[in-house]
Chain A
């Protein structure tokens, strides 16, 4: 296995949040832009990145230094992790978070995503897939963080999104009507997942006709941010929510964008409405800062911590309880499988005899399709066939899935979309495997050698 490359980063500048205008290009006021940048001096113009971009946002032809169009970019970072020359750079909040860790008043919380626990080892000489759970919690604690596992929030996402999906099935498939189903009347099937921020921005920009189909449930990280500053602040940590500083640790660069979306200050709005914070408190976001897996490794290095040498022992705490359904969110098809496990239980009244729904897992195929028969408890065991699709990577498959839906709107009930092929494990914030130069050898005898 090749080694891991160091990816250059840059801190956000004043312009990164935009000016006073309500909209600039495709960005609203306050939304971070320019998260991924091509360094013009290092770009050799090999054109590799354009093959991985899901939105054709990269300009420049072969041999010319490339540039990213801010308006089209969904910040997924696929160009960055696949650049053979390390010429693409990422906006980073490491310096800001290092300062917060030294602030005695701040209650800094690390919120690590599923896919980080199988990749961070690579930054310290481990192999891909090394599972670090307690070692990672212990490393965060040593660095001065408190822990709140995103996987716990992912379970919450399934309970919310699963409930929403079941309501849609009751309204649109079984024809039920009632007060509790009123709002799904505006949200027809197929139901699209909402946890991938690059997919959400892609849909908002290029396929706005799909917006009513996207789940209203927030992504696990955003649910976690809102719950940390309301529920956990009051019932677990017993802290002033204004002192809590939520740091999501993700395999993703698009999460940096997501955290800056202005509507994601629900904890602030809720606490103000409940008069739990003074009315004059300035607004704060649910997630204060985002670290990619690479950034988290950088924090550990600066603090002299190696997660791989940390103890693997730890008591199970309320904030770190999670299920298998949550941990597979990091793999393509995982959100689908997790949702089906719970939806099956609620609809049929019994647990799946085998929770592994391997049919929906995405690895080799671009688009995975499956039909899952679910017996309905409420209708004396009548079986409905739930038709699902998993989009494994946006760059090649979004157009295809949209085309299929134009052909037949009813062919799927539930569609999972992951921007990155393989899912979050291959996210734009993950450790980057160095390409090396071995690939040049077969070409060297050609006239190019001169």
Chain B
């Protein structure tokens, strides 16, 4: 066993031969700034995005207010929806509604994912 171990002995080149103090500072500086930039970019994106998300949301709440004023706050007040149930001879979660508006198919995809990983 001892002999086998020796066959696999391997020494790394000392880092000093490859990288001077100056080189090390360069490499460290570049990696730190690269990490800092991506961190900064993500924060910057999140900051900017907050402003336009808020504006778009306000647009929708403005629409909501307009509809509340004409007595259309909740879905049960939508006359077109009630017409659908009447025309189709059904009600919420009725037989036809179940066929057209509900799904029974949610697929467990986790096993499939694992298969992919094992064979990869």
B84 touches A323 (CB 8 A): no
Q: In the assembly, what is the distance between CA of A350 and CA of B62, in Å?
A: 24
B49 touches A342 (CB 8 A): no
Q: In the assembly, what is the distance between CA of A51 and CA of B37, in Å?
A: 13
Decide yes or no whether B102 CB sits under 8 A from chain A.
Answer: yes
Q: In the assembly, what is the distance between CA of A323 and CA of B76, in Å?
A: 9
Tell me how many residues of A have a C-beta within 8 Å of chain B: 105
Query: A205-B113, A327-B63 are known contacts. Are A28 and B37 too (CB-CB below 8 A)?
Result: no
- Report B-chain residues with C-beta under 8 Å of the C-beta of A355: 68, 73-74
- Report B-chain residues with C-beta under 8 Å of the C-beta of A375: none
A319 touches B80 (CB 8 A): yes
Chain B contact-residue range equals 35 or more
- How far apart are B84's CB and chain A's nearest CB, in angstroms? 5
Q: Which of A398-450 contact B (CB under 8 A)?
A: 421-423, 425-426, 430, 433, 435, 439, 443, 446-448
- Report A-chain residues with C-beta under 8 Å of the C-beta of B55: 118, 127-129
Contact with B along A177-213 (1 / 0, CB 8 A): 0000000000000000010000011011110100100
- Report A-chain residues with C-beta under 8 Å of the C-beta of B108: 204, 208, 211
Q: Mostly helix, strand, loop or mixed at chain A's interface? A: helix
Q: In the assembly, what is the distance between CA of A111 and CA of B65, in Å?
A: 23
- How far apart are A336's CB and chain B's nearest CB, in angstroms? 13
Interface 9-mer from A33-41, A159-167, A381-389: A159-167
- How far apart are A327's CB and chain B's nearest CB, in angstroms? 4
- How far apart are B114's CB and chain A's nearest CB, in angstroms? 10
Of A28, A129, A167, which is within 8 A of B59 by CB?
A: A129
Q: Which of B61-99 contact A (CB under 8 A)?
A: 61-68, 72-81, 83-84, 87-88, 92-93, 96-97, 99
- Report B-chain residues with C-beta under 8 Å of the C-beta of A9: none
Q: In the assembly, what is the distance between CA of A254 and CA of B57, in Å?
A: 20
- Report A-chain residues with C-beta under 8 Å of the C-beta of B96: 270
- Report A-chain residues with C-beta under 8 Å of the C-beta of B45: 48, 82, 84, 435
Count of A-B residue pairs with CB < 8 Å: 258
B42 touches A51 (CB 8 A): yes
Which chain A residue shows the least CB distance to B77? Answer: A323
- Report A-chain residues with C-beta under 8 Å of the C-beta of B53: 363, 421-422, 425-426
- Report B-chain residues with C-beta under 8 Å of the C-beta of A3: none
Query: A62-B34, A204-B107 are known contacts. Are A48 and B67 too (CB-CB below 8 A)?
Result: no
Which chain B residue shows the least CB distance to A346? Answer: B76
B74 touches A131 (CB 8 A): no
- Report B-chain residues with C-beta under 8 Å of the C-beta of A346: 76
Decide yes or no whether B116 CB sits under 8 A from chain A.
Answer: yes
Decide yes or no whether B17 CB sits under 8 A from chain A.
Answer: no
A269 touches B99 (CB 8 A): yes
Q: In the assembly, what is the distance between CA of A28 and CA of B67, in Å?
A: 41
Q: In the assembly, what is the distance between CA of A278 and CA of B68, in Å?
A: 44
Which chain A residue shows the least CB distance to B76? Answer: A342
- Report A-chain residues with C-beta under 8 Å of the C-beta of B35: 62
Q: In the assembly, what is the distance between CA of A323 and CA of B70, in Å?
A: 9
Which chain B residue shows the least CB distance to A321? Answer: B80
- Report B-chain residues with C-beta under 8 Å of the C-beta of A203: 106
Q: In the assembly, what is the distance between CA of A173 and CA of B71, in Å?
A: 31
Of A82, A218, A421, which is within 8 A of B101 by CB?
A: A218
Q: In the assembly, what is the distance between CA of A261 and CA of B64, in Å?
A: 32
Give the most central of A206, A270, A325, A433: most B CB within 10 Å.
A325
B104 touches A443 (CB 8 A): no
- Report A-chain residues with C-beta under 8 Å of the C-beta of B105: 261, 263
Taking Cβ atoms with an 8 Å cutoff, the residues of B that contact A are 26, 29-30, 33-38, 40-42, 44-45, 48-50, 52-68, 72-81, 83-84, 87-88, 92-93, 96-97, 99-110, 112-113, 116
Nearest first, the 4 closest Cβ-Cβ pairs linking A and B are: A118-B59, A129-B59, A422-B53, A129-B55
Query: What are 16 A-B pairs at a CB distance below 8 A?
Result: A26-B116, A46-B37, A46-B38, A160-B97, A211-B106, A218-B101, A266-B100, A318-B80, A322-B67, A323-B67, A325-B74, A328-B60, A328-B61, A338-B75, A341-B75, A351-B74
